[in-house]
Amino acid sequence: MSRQLREVVFVDGVRTPFGKAKGQYAETRADDLVIKCIRELMRRNPSLPPERVDEVAVAATTQIGDQGLTIGRTASLLAGLPQSVPGFAIDRMCAGAMTAVTTTASGIAFGAYDVAIAGGVEHMGRHPMGEGVDPNPRILSERIVNPDALVMGKTAENLHDRYPTITKERVDAYAVRSQDKTAAAYDAGKIQPDLVPVATKSAELGWGLASTDEPMRPGTTMETLAALKTPFRSHGNVTAGNAAGINDGATASLLADEETARELGLPIRMRLVSYSYVGVEPEVMGAGPIPATEKALRQAGLTIDDIGAFEVNEAFAVQVLAFLEHFGIADDDARVNPYGGAIAMGHPLASSGVRLMTQLARSFEERPEVRYGLTTMCIGIGMGGTVIWENPHWNGEAA
């Protein structure tokens, strides 16, 4: 029996505003954040009968406490989806939500699902990365990885060693641009349409409403960044200002096969082209997006010159600049992260992949001359992930 793969489309994506650890979500449950996103997806797409959702995949890096108990299933039930809708949890550290998307997308292409919800959540204030983890002692005693591999900031310093042309001044300049672009995107109303405001509570402050990304530092300058400490290496390059913070937040996306999307009258915001995950040396995990992108491009029969829009997760500025330098792209190329990125907005680990996709979908709507775009990110323990998307609004012109 032969099977024909189906076209997979990105219908919609939403997220909570991202918070600082111990900040606006300090007394909010992790699962309630992703439940809010699932409910908002269903509210925004009323032509989708809840019983037509075939799967709910939710990622979390630290699957413990209110991020545990097969969170895809429990969040589905708590969001009010029918009991017939299954769900599961998934983990690929920073690329958790990205992997939730590509895993369910593969099921859609194969015909196992017609419609799926995929997203991620991370409450780093409640559950720091590594909480409850017991690494096998062989991983260090047998030198399977360098000890630096277990400290993300040290891997970023190692990447600076690999790319000596990426100076402290370049990463700080990139971080300033990220803050400026995010502030400009907020001022232009480009971020807010995909945010889900979240009611928050505090024993001290009472009830509140989270409606913007808490980590933003508008007005950041080169001078303020130059004064920050380099905690991972004496006289190093990585600081709290040129890296993403420790954050809380959730995302969710709606995927479908193209025929079902049209049948149900759902919007088609992007079309999946290819995806790839690749392993690299764990002690320089920030290099992961480079081979992942090269592989995804080969699979699609494309080159980097065919890509007109980039959403690169900003775990560290050096990781973005290493990617750009490898592909011969300028540090300030307007195609890259036009609305800013994680240095300004935050990076709640397993949730960030869908944020990249949602922002790419918005870029596609604004730029019909762009046919292909990609979302890419580095992944802890030495990996990279890239997803290439096609713009359904493409007007046939060259970007």
Please say if 37 is a catalytic residue: no
Residue 364: exposure state from Cβ atoms within 10 A (0-12, 13-18, ≥19): buried
Catalytic-labelled residue, pool 37, 235, 347, 393: 347
Q: Are strands 115-123 and 55-59 parallel, antiparallel or unpaired?
A: parallel
Catalytic-labelled residue, pool 37, 94, 127, 160: 94
CA-wise closest residue to 340 among 187, 213, 185, 211? 185
Beta bridge mates, 372: 307, 390
Residue 186: exposure state from Cβ atoms within 10 A (0-12, 13-18, ≥19): buried
Catalytic-labelled residue, pool 37, 123, 378, 393: 378
The alpha carbon torsion through 149, 152, 154, 157 (nearest 10 deg) reads: 120
In the structure encoding, which two tokens stand for residue 211, read together? 């409606």
CA end-to-end span of the chain: 41
CA-wise closest residue to 360 among 226, 269, 237? 269
In the structure encoding, which two tokens stand for residue 209, read together? 């409403």
| Residues taking part in catalysis | 94, 347, 378
